[in-house]
Amino acid sequence: MASSGMYSNRGPKIHIKYDFRSDTVTVPTDAMKAAMIQAPVGDDVFGEDESVKALEAHVAKLTGFPSALFICLRTHLLQPPHTIIADSRSHILNYEAAGTALHSQAQVTPVSPLPGFNYLTAAAIQPHLVVDDDVHHAPTRVIELENTLGGEVMPLEAMREIRALANKHNIKVHLDGARLWNACVASGLTLKDYCSLCDSVSLCLSKGLGAPVGSVLVGSTPFVNKARHFRKLFGGGMRQIGMLGAAGLFAIEHHWPQMKGVHENAQYLASQLSKLGFKVSRKTETNMVWFEEGATGVGIDDIQNAASEKGIAMLGARGTECRLVLHHQVPREAIESLLDPSNNLKAGIVGLPNVGKSSFFNALTNSSVPAENFPYCTIDPAESRVAVPDPRFDWLCEHYKPASKVPAWLTVFDIAGLTKGAHEGQGLGNAFLSHIRAVDGILHLTRAFEDSDIVHVEGEIDPVRDLAIIHEELRLKDEEQLNKLVSSKKGEVNRLGSGGSVADKAKKEEFEILSKIHKWVTEEKKDVRQGTWNNKEIEVINPLQLLTAKPVVYLCNLSERDYSRKKNKWLPKIKGYIDANYPGDVLIPYSGILEMKLAAMETPEEKQAYLTELTAKYEAPAPVQSALSKIIITGYQALQLIYFFTAGPDEVRAWTIRKQTKAPQAAGTIHTDFEKTFIQAEVMKYDDLKELGNEAAVRAGGKYLMKGREYVVDDGDIMYFKAGDAKKK
């Protein structure tokens, strides 16, 4: 079940591997625990705890204040009557159980930032100040600021203007600096820079810094002495707390320096969400990423449920937004796991340098990856999703007029160009080959036109040679992998001897299969995908992620003229090479120049006018059309993917599955509980629904089908699932 509120602390108990809910979930590291165990302790009420005194002195020095106090609560108190000016989004106003009102009896006046600002300014605060002695009003005594707020940094200049306003009216300024550590890292300023503009500051140790508990309150010596009295008054006088003081000091010295990396991870997460079609709704300045569904049609609840299945915790939506919080215990692999749904299959664009891969990627995905005339312009693979065009999906949307439309998606990677010797590591080859290993299928691109402005790494155009170079590099890398694997397994099997247990016999059988695959690649010099393998052999092949086992679609980049005329001297030779060596594989001609021009045009009418112009200009035998839709569909099919639909007035959605998927596993793509408790599937064929017009007519015609566990889903099935209660045993 998805969490209903941004800060809800209710929910099912789950095993959590990575936690994006908040930076409050950080836990002490082993090194911090060791520092706590070794910490000297004393009675802090008597001022005898050296560890706490060291923490207080260190924070006072960092902030530029004369005194500091370690506390477990951060409540700022003055005697009434008075008001506190606070940001309407502030933590003390919204998330402290009305503690300010209870403890200080003060009235909090919420102030919202002015339009165009994401932080308070003096201009926003000025109209809300109460500075007269009218007995009907509670005078303003404190302006409470928060930095960061929602992960966004309040500029120092804005704080300086508010300080000047406060000075003018003899008003105190208190800073909730729970995440001021983050603000310093993001801005490059020091704690002193910010704290010099405040009368008092509270700094949390237990959020991003990762200490188990506590904050440090800094201010003038009389102020801190008074705060010490209040700490005692509220039951906060603590005795031997040196271990907590040591944890705080350890956090500042060891975890604060790691915060820059945390912010970089947040930036990476935001960029990946944006690439996937989500709307990043606020600036990602520190460790918080705020996003909305955008154009993806993927609900935040869907993301949360999928994440939960992987042991990843995140909070639900607050309104239309969702917040993900990064900290030092959320590594980059957690982000990759969060963003990589189990059925998100990938196609990689592969070829030599300067054949038009990045330009094709940009046109296909409407992206802006650099495409320059030099090798290795692309180093890290770019990633984007493209919707799979399907008239069946379009018809269902027109028929049901749903509130939400979610098509099938194909994830595409732009992988840097390979060169001869890549399998030996030349030209960053090992890195690029590892990128290919991570995808599920290959879009193999070659160039078949001359252009003096575009350098070819082999000196001259020969697309057949180029195809052979790439194929041989992939095969040689598989050969290298299989040589090592067979060598290591051979000794292990020889040590088993004859006979043996069932497990020993299974190992021997696996080695025989591995040897067969090895011979196929190294002696027969063939791609794994060309072989005929039984189910047992496929079980051995799949975990190896062999490069030559991946399905391939061939793309031939033509000039605009040749593509329009459907004539090119290389096309017959390329087709002959593919038919001779890889029979059954598909070759799709396209024009990268044409596709880039079309991508830059703003309206369908403008694009169609240009295509019509090309048809006439080159006397094309058929109307010139973009090849992108065909490439997307063919790439999707090459991955052995199909999809079924769920359809109704709320949503029409295409669900991606592999061919030969049975009904329970198809139900599991919607929610894993549906697979576990599957009862039956209700199925309509798309053609039947379109022909008969509505569900009632399909039922009346006897074509509304009830299917059980063994039903193999057909491409385009419209399905509804019945499942039991997952909670029942």
What is the model's pLDDT at position 9? Answer: 36
Residue holding tokens 């209660």?
Answer: 725
SS3 383: strand
Residue among 332, 414, 356, 422 nearest 381 (CA)? 414
Peptide bond into 669 cis (omega under 30): no
Mean pLDDT highest for which of 201-205, 455-459, 543-547? 201-205
Read off the pLDDT of each residue in 367-371 and give the average, rounded to a whole number. 47
Mark the binding-site residues, compressed into ranges: 354-359, 558
Q: Sheet of 279-280: strands edge to edge?
A: 279-280, 288-292, 322-325
Is the CB of residue 467 less than 8 Å from the CB of residue 554? yes
Residue 227 lies in a domain: yes
CB 138 within 8 A of CB 105: no
The angle that helices 357-365 and 628-638 make with each other, rounded to 10 degrees, is 100
Q: pLDDT digits over 177-197, tens only?
A: 999 999 999 999 999 999 999
DSSP state, residue 43: B
Q: What is the mean pLDDT of residues 651-656?
A: 89
Q: Give the CATH number, domain containing residue 718.
A: 3.10.20.30
Q: What is the pLDDT of residue 14?
A: 46
Section 263-270 average pLDDT = 93
* Separation between Cα atoms, residue 306 and residue 312, nearest integer Å: 9
- DSSP labels, 411-452: EEEEPPPP-TTGGGTGGGHHHHHHHHHTSSEEEEEEE-S--T
Residue 153, CA distances (Å) to 96, 363, 409 in order: 22, 36, 36
Encoding tokens for residue 459?
Answer: 């000196």
DSSP 103-168: HH-PEEEEEPPPTT-SS--HHHHGGG---S--TTSPPEEEEEEESSBTTBPPPHHHHHHHHHHHHH
Q: With contact defined as beta carbons under 8 Å apart, do 408 and 518 qualify?
A: no
pLDDT of 697 higher than 90: yes
Using CA atoms, how far residue 549 sits from 74, 622, 664, in Å, is 60, 36, 28
What share of residues in the chain are helix, strand, coil (percent, to 5)? 45, 20, 40
Between CA 170 and CA 166 the distance in angstroms is 6
pLDDT, tens only, 453-505: 766 666 788 999 999 999 999 999 899 989 988 988 887 777 777 767 777 78
pLDDT band at 293 (very low <50, low <70, confident <90, very high): confident
| Cβ atoms of 521 and 478 closer than 8 Å | yes
**Position 542 pLDDT exceeds 90:** no
User: Residue 691: its pLDDT value, please?
Assistant: 96
d(CA 636, CA 346): 9
Q: What is the pLDDT of residues 546-594, one digit of tens each?
A: 999 999 999 999 999 999 999 999 999 999 999 999 998 999 999 999 9
Does 205 map to a domain? yes
Residue 376 in this model has a pLDDT that exceeds 80? no
Q: What is the pTM of this model?
A: 0.55
pLDDT for the residue numbered 79: 55
> What percentage of the chain reaches a pLDDT higher than 70?
88
Domain membership flag for residue 142? yes
Instruction: Using the structure block, give the residue that is written with the tokens 């308070």.
Output: 120
Query: Which helix (H) or strand (E) element contains residue 647?
Result: strand 641-647
- Mean per-residue pLDDT for 255-262? 94
Of 241, 257, 273, the last residue of a domain is 257
Residue 676 CA to residue 668 CA, distance in Å, equals: 8
Q: What is the pLDDT of residues 77-126, one digit of tens each?
A: 455 668 899 999 988 888 777 877 777 778 899 999 999 999 999 999 99
- Quote the number of domains for the chain: 2
pLDDT reported for residue 333: 75
Residue 218 lies in a domain: yes
Three-class DSSP category at 567: coil
650 within 8 A of 696, measured Cβ to Cβ: no
The binding site for ATP comprises 354-359, 558
Arithmetic mean of pLDDT over the chain: 85
Residue 419 has a pLDDT of: 66
pLDDT value for 422: 52
Q: From the CB of residue 502, how many other CB atoms can be counted at a distance below 10 Å?
A: 7
Which 8-state DSSP code applies to residue 198?
Answer: -
DSSP code, position 355: S
H or E element at residue 270 = helix 259-275
Residue 689 belongs to some domain of the structure? yes
Residue 462: both structure tokens together: 């020969």
According to the model, what pLDDT value does residue 287 have?
Answer: 96
The CATH number that applies at residue 95 is 3.40.640.10
Q: What is the pLDDT of residue 679?
A: 94
Sequence-ordered list of residues with C-beta below 8 angstroms from that of 116, at least 6 positions apart, any chain: none
Q: What is the pLDDT of residue 47?
A: 83
At residue 295 the predicted structure's pLDDT band, cuts being 50, 70 and 90, is low
Nearest to 457 by CA among 499, 421, 481: 421
Using an 8 Å Cβ cutoff, are 583 and 668 in contact? no
β partners of residue 539 = none
> Would the pLDDT of 595 be above 80?
yes
Q: Which of 216, 236, 257 is the last residue of a domain?
A: 257
- 369 pLDDT band, cuts 50/70/90, is very low
* Statement: residue 13 has pLDDT above 60: no
Phi, psi for 593 (deg, rounded to 5) = -60, -45
pLDDT digits (tens, 9 = 90+) for 272-282: 888 776 889 99
pLDDT band at 153 (very low <50, low <70, confident <90, very high): very high
Q: Give the count of alpha carbons within 13 A of 382, CB side only.
A: 24
Asked if the bond preceding 572 is cis, omega within 30° of 0, the reply is: no
Label residue 308 exposed, middle or buried (CB < 10 Å: 0-12, 13-18, 19+).
buried
**Tokens standing for residue 530:** 């060309």
Domain membership of residue 569 (yes or no) is no
Q: What is the mean pLDDT of residues 29-52?
A: 87
| Parent domain of 94 | 32-257
> Which of residues 210, 241, 257 is at a domain's end?
257
pLDDT digits (tens, 9 = 90+) for 596-645: 999 889 899 999 999 999 999 999 999 999 999 999 888 888 878 889 99
Place of tokens 């260190």: 58
Does 196 map to a domain? yes
The span from the CA of 422 to the CA of 460, in Å, is 20
Determine, yes or no, domain membership for 500: no
* Per-residue model confidence as pLDDT tens digits over 659-685: 889 999 999 888 777 888 899 999 999
